[in-house]
Amino acid sequence: MALPKIKSKFDGAVQKSSQEQKIAELQAEVEQLRASQSPELEAELQKLREQLQNQSGELEISVDLIDPNPHQPRQTITPELIQTKARLLKKHGQITPIILVPQNNGRYMLLDGQLRTEAAKVLGWQKIRALVVPMPEDLSSRALLTFLGFEDLNPLDKAEAIANEATKSVGLSVDEIVTMLSTVLKRLERDGKSKELTQLVAVSTEDQQQSLSELGVTGTEYSLLLLLLELGLNPASVKANLMPMLSLPQDLKDAIRHKGLKGAHALALSTLSSKALDVSEKEAQLERVKATDQVLKNNLTVPETRELTKQIKDKYVKSEKSESKKVKLVIQKVRELSSESLTDVSQEQLIVLRGLLVEKLTQIERLL
């Protein structure tokens, strides 16, 4: 895929409020960058850096003057990630500068290089090499993706970034987007067109637009699918693997963000719900937390995690046993033993009957 040229994108600046809006709108498209990693993209990135250096030069910026971007897709930065990046910086130095946007108060907003900045703080660096650029007036999403070198996101951060971008683009709530995506995918599957949709990920935007129309997709459905395809995402994969992340219970979201729990493991653990276990949400959460710790401690695979959740559910779910015709007959006979029918029975028989009934009641109590 040919990357857009971006030299002309940096000719002017815009006001701070507009800068923040553009950053918020554009950075949610991080998934496209991941799908576009290639020598061609790296070459374009290097051209941009050289271009910026020629225009304004590389600067040493105090890390205390750098503010994070509140809208950036990565919401998870674990201590392990920062330490890993810090070790690389210590060993090899800062190979590429971060990219900053100046703000009106003399400070800078971080546009690219979040992990490098956090790692520099861990190493005790007072300053970090940076390229300071004005936010371009006409920076398109695709142009942004040619130079922002985002590191990998976990599936929860990816799902939230994609959902945020989709809500802004099509004007629907997250729940409405999930429902719409499910509806259109089911219809295409029913019509035998799922494979054709998947193949559109690798074609040009023009071909995507034409093919979606040929598939009979219109209106908001068209806008939603086109957005996902332009980001290099398979809509079916988004529905199956990313959208479920949004409805995970908070304890599992926290485990993904702070303990490194994988998305597939979290989905398996989410089946330990209060409804599935027939207990309160508090009790279900305690079971999930214990199971999560076990998964992480023992480094369980996804199949092993599913087996663990099955074992836990088996402890809670009462097995349904079939109704016994024999017991049903006994119940009927006992009901027929009215006071009148027992009047003419001998005392010896009544004593034996009472003993048997007491014995059976004791057995029943144990089973209940």
Select from 238, 258, 279 the last residue of a domain.
Answer: 238
CA nearest neighbour of 125 among 165, 160, 93: 93
Is 322 a domain residue?
no
Is 101 a domain residue?
yes
Domain identity same for 126 and 188: no
Domain identity same for 281 and 252: yes
What's the pLDDT at 282? Answer: 92
Q: In what order do the strands lie in the sheet with 59-62?
A: 59-62, 127-132, 98-102, 108-112, 66-67
Domain identity same for 28 and 111: yes
Is 279 a domain residue?
yes
What's the pLDDT at 337? Answer: 79
Domain identity same for 27 and 53: yes
Mean pLDDT of each 10-residue bin along the chain, 368 residues long: 41 42 45 47 56 61 87 66 81 82 85 86 92 58 37 72 83 90 93 89 81 92 88 84 90 90 93 90 94 94 93 76 77 81 81 83 78
Domain identity same for 44 and 90: yes
Q: Are 235 and 188 in contact (CB under 8 A)?
A: no
Owning domain of residue 160: 155-238
In eight-state DSSP terms, residue 180 is H
CA nearest neighbour of 108 among 47, 174, 60: 60
Domain identity same for 167 and 283: no
Is 108 a domain residue?
yes
What's the pLDDT at 147? Answer: 36
Query: What 3-state DSSP class applies to 191?
Result: coil
Please give the structure tokens belonging to residue 153: 């996101």
DSSP 310-332: HHHHHHHSPPPPPPPHHHHHHHH
Is 259 a domain residue?
yes
Q: Are 128 and 120 in contact (CB under 8 A)?
A: yes
Domain identity same for 120 and 230: no
For strands 59-62 and 66-67, give the pairing. Answer: unpaired
Neighbours of 315 (CB within 10 A): 8
Is 324 a domain residue?
no
Is 36 a domain residue?
yes
Domain identity same for 277 and 177: no
Domain identity same for 90 and 186: no
Q: Are 212 and 198 in contact (CB under 8 A)?
A: no
Let me know the angle formed at the C-alpha of 112 by 58 and 68, rounded to the nearest 5 degrees. Answer: 110
Torsion of CA 2, 232, 203, 9, to 10 degrees: -30
Select from 217, 238, 259 the last residue of a domain.
Answer: 238
What's the pLDDT at 46? Answer: 60
What's the pLDDT at 248? Answer: 94
Position 264, amino acid: A
Domain identity same for 116 and 212: no
In eight-state DSSP terms, residue 344 is T
Domain identity same for 22 and 129: yes
Q: Residue 113 maps to which CATH number?
A: 3.90.1530.10
CA nearest neighbour of 125 among 86, 78, 81, 68: 86
Report the domain count for the chain.
3
What's the pLDDT at 356? Answer: 84
Select from 238, 265, 284 the last residue of a domain.
Answer: 238
What's the pLDDT at 162? Answer: 81
Is 351 a domain residue?
no
Cα separation of 4 and 220, whole Å?
27
What's the pLDDT at 188? Answer: 93
Domain identity same for 295 and 231: no
